[in-house]
Structure 1
Amino acid sequence: MQTLEGYFVSFGAEKIFYRGWRPAKAKAVLQVTHGFGEHSGRYEGLAQYLGSLGYAVYAQDLRGHGRSTGQRGHIESWLDYWYDLTLFRSQLEALEPRLPIFLYGHSMGSLVVLDYLVKQPPDLRGAIVSGVLLEPGQPAQPLLVAIARLLSRFWPQAPLRLNLDINALSRDSATVQAYRSDPLVHNRVSARWGTEVLQTIETVKAQVKSIRDPLLILHGEADAINRVEGARWLFREASTTDKELRVYPGSFHEPHNDLNKGQVLQDIAEWLERHL
């Protein structure tokens, strides 16, 4: 397996770090967009598994995350993330010009991907969304939301802490401990980030009927961070007729890192195979 690392320049002159895992002979590309506070390196397990089956996996660190530049957890507009995803896809089309590209987004990354899908992107083979951010659970504290809305108008860069319950990520204690000790993980957001997330959820819900690409939805039924009702709503409302929902009983926020990850990875691989 070949591993690659690099940077590209995105909107606002931010340097976006990416990494890739590529088998000797790849049949398709999976472009990964991570969740809030994390980074591309946390998807190595997914990449190694899919790489063994012939898929090239590439993941970026969104601005303000991981090894990319930018204030931690801050965006001026949700379009910042849209540019990061769009430009990264252009990079991958140049790197892998003959391979179909699938998108994969987890948690906040799922919202980035869904926002991209409602804009009807061309020539996309399909998308996978996990831990769908449409019905926030723990982080959506009313007081924090009110403060973010107020500060976003007058001090958009104002730093806030999103008190994510790390123990709600996975039932696997090793995954939780690795997250806790990871120096590239953070829990900082800005006031503007908070209001942009809420607005983008509303936008995706209003435009969900425009999603016509093949769609696989993965969600842990016991997810306390993003409630499973959001995934079920997305499955009902998306216009595409090629859609599948996998809800994993007992699983927490990161199905791909939970105790049942073997089944989750197999479901992903089988869905990709059917859509080549």
Structure 2
Amino acid sequence: MAIEKEGTFEVDGHSLYTKSWLPDGPTKAKLIFFHGFSDHVNRYQAFFSALAARGIAVYGVDQRGWGRSVKKPSERGLTGPTSRVLADMAAFIRPHLPSSPADVPAFVMGHSMGGGQVLTLACHPDYQESVVRPVRGWLLESPFISFSPEEEPSAVKVFAGRLASRLLPHFQLKHEIVPEHLSRDPEVRERLVQDPLMHNTGTLEGLAGLLDRTGALARGEVRPQPGGALRSLWIGHGTEDKTTWFPASRKYFDECTKEVKDREFKAYEGWYHMLHADGPESEQFFKDVGDWILARCDGEKPEAKL
């Protein structure tokens, strides 16, 4: 059973909602988690509880502009530029990093938009020593490296959005994500529709930053730095994901992660976008993530699985 604790995290004059799922027993590892677009950490309840039951403490935050960190409608989707997003993430990660060899190892994970953010942070030259190197492993669930064909916006829409973002950065724009594209489980899809915290609203500045990060990853311009600061990487993606694109994740892994000696790509055949909430089979995803983390808690470096 997980011990759940709510709290707040202060950064750059803003108070962000946090929640932790702690083991009811010895802690073997820490996992710092970043959610996806129009999402919030309480939507991962079953996943985080399963990890905590295995001794993995999970620390989540509703990112700026999302979930319970939004105090008024004008804050919906108000993430700031990519530099602000990465600074918020780094600030949240640092207090959970080991301060001595006796501390349990820390891992960082992101889903969808959060997966693209985590990968961008892990590859950013400014954070290699202060954040990336102390983290034992990085995990990506259905990372946003490219749109699926079903969600790809037109070139005209992208161009117009980028231009408008310079003039009206805080202008809000709805981006509806089709629930049927996220999970095969009809009960999960209904809960998504009924969740008042999932507002599907971005700002032009935030959406432009999201597109820029995604484009840089898809083109291979953002990749692990030479020197081995990023020690371990796991990517899991459903082959029938209709929100982010499985082939883009596979291509990125094959072409851009060779600097990472301990790396693994897991294809979930027939699964959709929310691996953590894709029906009863999601328990296998819980096990895969937990196994991967715990295998790296004894200091060993397993062989890469390609």
Range of TM-score over shorter length: over 0.9
With over 3 angstroms needed to count, the CA separation of the structure-2 counterparts of 1:192 and 1:160, relative to structure 1, is same
1:71-220 paired onto structure 2 within 5 Å: 71-93=75-97, 98-119=103-124, 120=128, 121-137=132-148, 138-142=150-154, 143-204=156-217, 205-210=220-225, 212-220=230-238
Structure 2 Cα separation of the partners of residues 80 and 162 of structure 1: 21
The two structures have a TM-score, normalised by structure 2, of 0.85
* 1:183-217 residue CA offsets vs partner (Å, 9 max, x unmatched): 21110011111211121124443131427321110
Query: One-letter code of the match for 1:150?
Result: L
1:91 positional shift:
3.2
Which 5+ residue runs of structure 2 have no aligned equivalent?
298-306
Partner of 1:76, secondary structure, is coil
Query: One-letter code of the match for 2:231?
Result: D
Structure 2 Cα separation of the partners of residues 177 and 25 of structure 1: 36
Query: One-letter code of the match for 1:101?
Result: A
Query: One-letter code of the match for 2:86?
Result: W
Query: One-letter code of the match for 2:84?
Result: D
211-220 or 96-105: which moved more? 96-105
Structure 2 Cα separation of the partners of residues 225 and 269 of structure 1: 25
2:266 corresponds in structure 1 to: 246
With over 3 angstroms needed to count, the CA separation of the structure-2 counterparts of 1:72 and 1:95, relative to structure 1, is farther
Q: 8 Å contact 1:76–1:193 — kept in the other structure? A: yes
Query: One-letter code of the match for 1:274?
Result: A
1:74 positional shift:
2.4
Over the matched positions of the two proteins, sequence identity in percent amounts to 27
Which 5+ residue runs of structure 1 have no aligned equivalent?
none
- Paired residue for 1:224, among 225, 242, 253? 242
1:260-271 paired onto structure 2 within 5 Å: 260-271=281-292
The two structures have a TM-score, normalised by structure 1, of 0.94
Q: CA RMSD for the aligned pairs?
A: 1.9
2:304 corresponds in structure 1 to: none
The number of equivalent residue pairs is 275
208-217 or 225-234: which moved more? 208-217
1:27 positional shift:
0.9
